[in-house]
Structure formats: C-alpha cells, structure tokens
Structure 1
Amino acid sequence: MSVPKKPLLKPLFLLLLFLSFLLLFHLFLSSKKSHVPSAVAGSSSDTPLIRIRPGFRSYDDYIKLQLNKTLNPRLRRVWATRDWERKVRVFSRFFGDLAAEGFLSNASAALCIGARLGQEVAALRGIGVAAAVGMDLVPAPPLVMQGDFHKQPFPDDSFDFEFSNVFDHALYPERFAAEVERTLRPGGVAVLHVAVHRRGDKYSANDLVGGVDGLVGLFKRSELVRTRKVDGFGLDTEVVFRKTKKN
C-alpha cells in the first residue's frame, strides 16, 4: 500500500503571501504616484522650471490648506472692507490697460479664476464688461461661483477673456493651463499675474524658477503675446496669451 503524500500547504501559503506582498507594494507605489505631484521639467534641463512645493500628501491636504486661507474670518473681513476699494481700483487700471490694447472689450465673456470675494469681477463690470464672473473654491454670490481651477465647471469655448493671479496656488500647473485653454474660445485671451522675482506666500503650491518659460511651456494651444512688469499685490509679472488652436 502506498503512503499518501502530504499536501503542499506551507509552500503554497508562502507563495500566496509573497504574491500578496508584491501586489500591495505595487498599489502603494501607484498611490504615491497619483497623490504626490512631480515638478514640471524643463525641455532641455534637469532643473525644473516650475517647482512644486513639498508637503502635500494628497489632494485633500492641498484643498484644506487653500480653504484655511479662503475661509479665514479675519482675511474675509479685510477683503470685504478696507481692501475692497483699493483692489477694485488697481484691477480696474490693469483691465483698462488691457482693453486699450485690444485684449478685452465690453462684449467679452470674462472669467476671473481664484477670485475670492470678487474684486476682479467688480472691476471688470465697473469698466463695462458686463458678462464677467468669478470662480473660487468658496462661492461669494453674486460675483463669484464655486469651482476648482484644476477642473473648471464650464463647457469648452465659454470665454473670450480669462484672468488669474493665483497660478502659484495650482498644485497641478499643467491642469490649470489646460483648463484655461479648454474654456477659452479660439482667439480668446488669458492674462496671468505671477511672481517671478518674488516668492509666493505660504499658501502657494508652486514656484516659477528662472522666469516665465515654464509657464509658457504649459500653454500648448496658445501663443505668448507679451510679458510686462506689474505691481499686483505681491506679484510682479503679467503674462498674456492668445489661444490660436481649437480644442
């Protein structure tokens, strides 16, 4: 009579354990890649032209930091009172210059990205751009609606003009630029105020390194029209793009 063989339970168990470990390790790496942003590299340099700030473990962490500023009661009081008239006046001057150069008209459908309480929108409407609206994580009716600039809540080709002074707050700069181009109509103009010679505040998620080349490289369907120096609430450079290609 033959002796029955012992089942190979232990080797099978060890093999399954090893395969499970490999699967979990793969999922861990995938999770890290999806939640930790990488810098946008320059075309021919190892030095990134847009440097993502460290410390964001997830997109939720990033949103919480932004909301800490946007929902700060003291800041909101300042924005709504003593800062209001000053910012509307300065934005009106910026937009008046852009209108004089033909980048903006009273008939433009205009979007202000990251508009907080809406000083930019008030300035646009004040110079005659009636179809102006703002967007921010926290709405501020009637001037500002809710929206995330990484995924704008608007259809393609919605606007003739888009303005933002919060590009440095973008955790995913390439998505920010892609959404601006998606929602701009062909021939539309995007104007960004950025910090080149200054460092952004503690709420910034990225920094431009060595000029505006990294920013320009993100706009795939637009041409750079011009740059100029400005003094815009801690931001020093105005960059103007015109969309030249359809979506």
Structure 2
Amino acid sequence: MSNMHVGMNVTLTKPFILRCFIISLFLSLPFFLFLFRHLFSPQQHHRHVSIAATATTTNNNNSNLRIRPGYSSYDAYIQRQLNKTLNPRLRKIWTTRDWNRKIPVFARFFEELKEKKLLDKNSKALCIGARVGQEVEALRRVGVWDSVGMDLVPYPPLVVKGDFHNQPFENGTFDFEFSNVFDHALYPERFVAEIERTLKPNGVCVLHVALSRRADKFSANDLYSVEPLVALFKNSALVHVRDVDGFGLDTEVAFRKNTLR
C-alpha cells in the first residue's frame, strides 16, 4: 500500500509543477522583452533625439567650464534667450549706435584672420548667434561675400533662423564659422559638435570668449580657460589663441577641422 500511495502522489504533482512552470514563464515575459529591447534595438541618429538627451555632463564637471543652474527645461532656456533677442530697446541699439560702432571692429578682426590665412575672401562663412548681422556685414566689407548669420530670431537678409544647438545646415557646408556667443550655450558639447559637423574638412572656427571676466546675466555657462574648448573640439586642432578686446570678450581662439583620411 505504501508504494502505491507514493506513486499516486507523484502522479498528482506533475500537473501542478507544469502549471507553476507556465506561470513563471508568463511572469518573466515582460523582463525578457525589456532586456531584448535594450540589447538589440538600433541606436537613433543624434539629429533625431532631444538635445537634452544628447548633452553630456563631461565638461560640466570641469572646474574651468561651469554650466549655470536655474533652467527648468530647454524651452525655459530658449525663452530666456528670446527675452534678450526680442527686446525692442536692445534691437534698436544693435541696428543704430552699435551697428556703426561694432562693424569696423569686427572688420579689423576678420582682416587680421585673413592675414593669418585663417579666412579667405572665397570662404563660405557663418556667424553663429549673429542677432542683426553686424559680423556678417563686417565679413562682406572685407570681401567675404558668401556670408550669413544665424540666430533664434531671423533678420533678413543677413541672418537666418536657427538654433546653434541644432544648426539648420547640411554637413560640411562652411569654410569658416565665427561666434562670440559661446557663453550662451546651455550644452557646450552640442554647440561645438554642430560647428564641427557643418564645417568642411580643413575649415576654421573662431570663437571670442571671456576668460578673465564673467559674461552677462543671459549667459548659460562660464569659461575659465582654453583647455575645455580644446577638449570639446574632438575633430579639430587648436591653431591660434590671442588676447582681444571684443566688447566684453577677451580671448580669440581658433580651431581647424581635421581633413578626411
């Protein structure tokens, strides 16, 4: 009798074990789907993901490049920049008093860059964060006619609409890019990556930055040395650094994009 009793227990427990196995598989299915998605899903191209997702914190931790806190979202950051760009009083100053005061200074900067073979009259040039196009006008006055500016607010015919974190231009469009608004970049790595993307091989980028003083209240970062810039320009070589008096900016830094191999 005891052997028969044991055999009956074994027979009765087989369906129970099978049901437990099936239930455990069903409960594990979400985990396996999650694992499969993360291991085998294709990576998206950086142009199609959000700016916040692609911005890294590598340089935020560098004591010589600090991102200013206080932006609750990227939209809040953009709106703060627009508050300055759309200010009627400032726009009047930029197109009158500043227009006549700044263009000759920018023209002198560009002439000196031509002498250093960092700019050519045949260059296709972009001015980043150009507001009403003073830099563009200066480039044209020194013979660089194929020049355009880019800003959040367009100012035709000199300035087109564009966000410097996501330039509206194809890869390898420009021979020369100039900007004096690096301090306004919330994501410096993205700012530089877009410059390198839209520069042609052997193209030149020139930045005017403030190292010895802090910029205005609309700035999104503070830079304390050239070293973080060198780290950000991953596909370019530092070719030129000098002191300048650039309307509150004290240092001119130039990079040349590497040629393709």
Q: TM-score, normalised by structure 2?
A: 0.77
Secondary structure of 2:84's counterpart equals helix
Whether 1:193 and 2:211 are equivalent positions in the alignment is no
Look up the match of 2:28: none
One-letter code of the match for 2:130? Answer: A
Look up the match of 1:107: 122
Secondary structure of 2:165's counterpart equals coil
Cα distance in 2 for partners of 1:103, 1:214 equals 22
What aligned pairs does 1:69-218 form with structure 2 within 5 A after superposition?
69-209=84-224, 211-218=225-232
Cα distance in 1 for partners of 2:106, 2:90 equals 19
* Conservation of the 8 A alpha-carbon contact between 1:194 and 1:237: yes
Whether 1:41 and 2:55 are equivalent positions in the alignment is no
Cα distance in 2 for partners of 1:134, 1:237 equals 21
Point out where structure 1 has 5 or more consecutive residues left out of the alignment: 1-33
* Conservation of the 8 A alpha-carbon contact between 2:209 and 2:249: yes
Cα distance in 2 for partners of 1:89, 1:40 equals 38
* Conservation of the 8 A alpha-carbon contact between 2:62 and 2:228: no
Look up the match of 2:239: 225
* Conservation of the 8 A alpha-carbon contact between 1:221 and 1:245: no
Deviation at 1:55, TM superposition (A): 0.1
Cα distance in 2 for partners of 1:82, 1:244 equals 39
Secondary structure of 2:206's counterpart equals strand
In structure 2, the CA distance between the partners of 1:234 and 1:40, relative to structure 1 (3 Å rule), is: farther
Deviation at 1:184, TM superposition (A): 0.4
Cα distance in 2 for partners of 1:170, 1:40 equals 15
Cα distance in 1 for partners of 2:146, 2:210 equals 28
Cα distance in 1 for partners of 2:152, 2:219 equals 15
Deviation at 1:216, TM superposition (A): 1.2
Whether 1:239 and 2:248 are equivalent positions in the alignment is no
Q: 1 or 2, which has the higher helix percentage? A: 2
Deviations 1:81-137 (A, max 9, x none): 011011101000000000111111110000000000000000000111010000000
Deviation at 1:41, TM superposition (A): 3.5
Deviation at 1:48, TM superposition (A): 2.9
Cα distance in 2 for partners of 1:129, 1:212 equals 28
The total of aligned residue pairs comes to: 210
Cα distance in 1 for partners of 2:114, 2:188 equals 27
Bigger Rg over Cα: 2
* Conservation of the 8 A alpha-carbon contact between 1:39 and 1:51: no
Cα distance in 2 for partners of 1:203, 1:175 equals 18
Deviation at 1:50, TM superposition (A): 1.3
One-letter code of the match for 1:110? Answer: A
Point out where structure 2 has 5 or more consecutive residues left out of the alignment: 1-51
Please identify runs of 4+ aligned residues in structure 1 that moved more than 2 A.
Answer: 37-42, 46-49
Deviation at 1:183, TM superposition (A): 0.4
Cα distance in 1 for partners of 2:260, 2:65 equals 26
Identical aligned residues as a percent: 64
Secondary structure of 1:92's counterpart equals helix
Cα distance in 2 for partners of 1:150, 1:213 equals 21
Deviations 1:40-95 (A, max 9, x none): 438xxx65331000001100110011000000000000000011011101000000
* Conservation of the 8 A alpha-carbon contact between 1:221 and 1:246: no
Deviation at 1:212, TM superposition (A): 1.0
Deviation at 1:245, TM superposition (A): 4.3
Cα distance in 1 for partners of 2:204, 2:91 equals 29
